[in-house]
Copies of this chain bind each other. A is one copy, B any other.
């Protein structure tokens, strides 16, 4: 009797364990799916343009793939029609500037490398049959190595990196496949025209269906960053002079953390600027809008954010200023902080609206006057001492 039940347990044991394991796996994957779904929802809510962009990409690819479905179109291009699909997939980026930049890079690089490739191919064909592949190999090696090195130039990397890559690619393909196929010119022509069609489809859909302008994003980002610094300074004076016992919740402190994202904004601003330079006139932005100026403002904003980060350290510092001194400096420090905040917020507003800031200078003057007061106090104290 005992043995039988033990046996039963033995059989039930692994089964129960397997069932438990399976249930745990199910639970785990269920929670994983829920996590991913909520993350996706958050991504979509944070910036609904992401959903629109995804639909745009799907639409553009489906549109270009019509080439294959319709026989009349297909006859013209044959297998090269593939390049239109490839171009759309690779070129279609989130912002208009990025798409235009990639499209132009791809188009120009394909054209120039194609011309050069055909030239190299002709040149090699003048030599003997045995020399031809050696010559072509040499061309490919020299060009690939040279252009790869050019990609290290910071200015080239920022704006033409993709073009240089495509340049190597096209040159190698034409040079190398040219050795087989005497219809090089024909292939080059077909490929270029399909790439043009694919690129044009991507650019047109990107511009005319809910466009995302990198320039506008840059404009807003720089203004928002200024605003964030202002928000910190607005709250800082009050927060600093609260007695340690009185600090109830961390809510207020959290609202002061907004400036943290400013600290690492450099790479985002630089890439947005590089995209914005490709963009045509749109909204209130001219074709040659002074985009570099935004980088300068951005750099100054970060300078300011570094100081604010140091200020923020005082909120949680172990070493607290003695109460007597705090009382002395409270008024002028709070004033200084709030006046600086007003100046920053005014600048952010003026920038957003593209107008001359009217009262920012007054706020800065007020802040400077407030800043001089503790110094005077200090001098008094020193005089009293010595």
Contacts and interface: CB of A to CB of B under 8 A. Distances in A.
Contact of A169 (B86, B149, B302): B86
A292 interface: no
B145 A89 contact: no
A382 interface: yes
Contact of A306 (B40, B153, B173, B306): B306
Nearest to A57: B148
Interface in A86-133: 86, 89-90, 133
Contacts of A325: 382
A18 interface: no
A384 B169 CA distance: 79
Task: Select the residue from A58, A264, A307, A375 with max chain B CB neighbours within 10 A.
Answer: A58
B324 A53 contact: no
B322 A153 contact: no
A97 to B, nearest CB: 18
A177 interface: yes
A69 B385 contact: no
A39 B153 CA distance: 8
A254 to B, nearest CB: 18
A285 interface: no
A152 interface: yes
Contacts of A303: 309
B68 A177 contact: yes
Contacts of A168: 57, 61, 89
B89 A152 contact: no
A149 B69 contact: no
Nearest to A378: B322
Task: Select the residue from A90, A144, A146, A382 with max chain B CB neighbours within 10 A.
Answer: A144
- Number of this chain's copies in the complex: 2
A315 interface: no
Interface in A263-302: 263-264, 266-267, 302
Nearest to A61: B144
A140 B58 contact: yes
A148 B55 CA distance: 8
A53 B145 CA distance: 8
Given A165-B89, A172-B65, A264-B266, A324 B382 contact: yes
Contacts of A53: 148
Interface string A373-386: 00100110110111
Interface residues of A, number: 73
B385 A61 contact: no
A244 interface: no
Contact of A385 (B85, B180, B385): B385
Contacts of A152: 43, 50
Given A53-B148, A169-B90, A322-B382, A177 B58 contact: no
Contacts of A29: none
A176 B85 contact: yes
A144 B57 contact: yes
A378 B381 CA distance: 11
A141 B58 contact: yes
B141 A74 contact: no
Interface string A66-94: 10110000100001001001100110000
A293 to B, nearest CB: 19
A65 B169 contact: no
A-B CB proximity, top 8 nearest: A58-B145, A310-B310, A54-B149, A306-B309, A58-B141, A54-B148, A58-B144, A267-B267
13 contacts: A40-B149, A43-B149, A50-B149, A54-B146, A54-B149, A62-B144, A65-B172, A85-B173, A85-B176, A86-B173, A264-B264, A310-B310, A319-B371
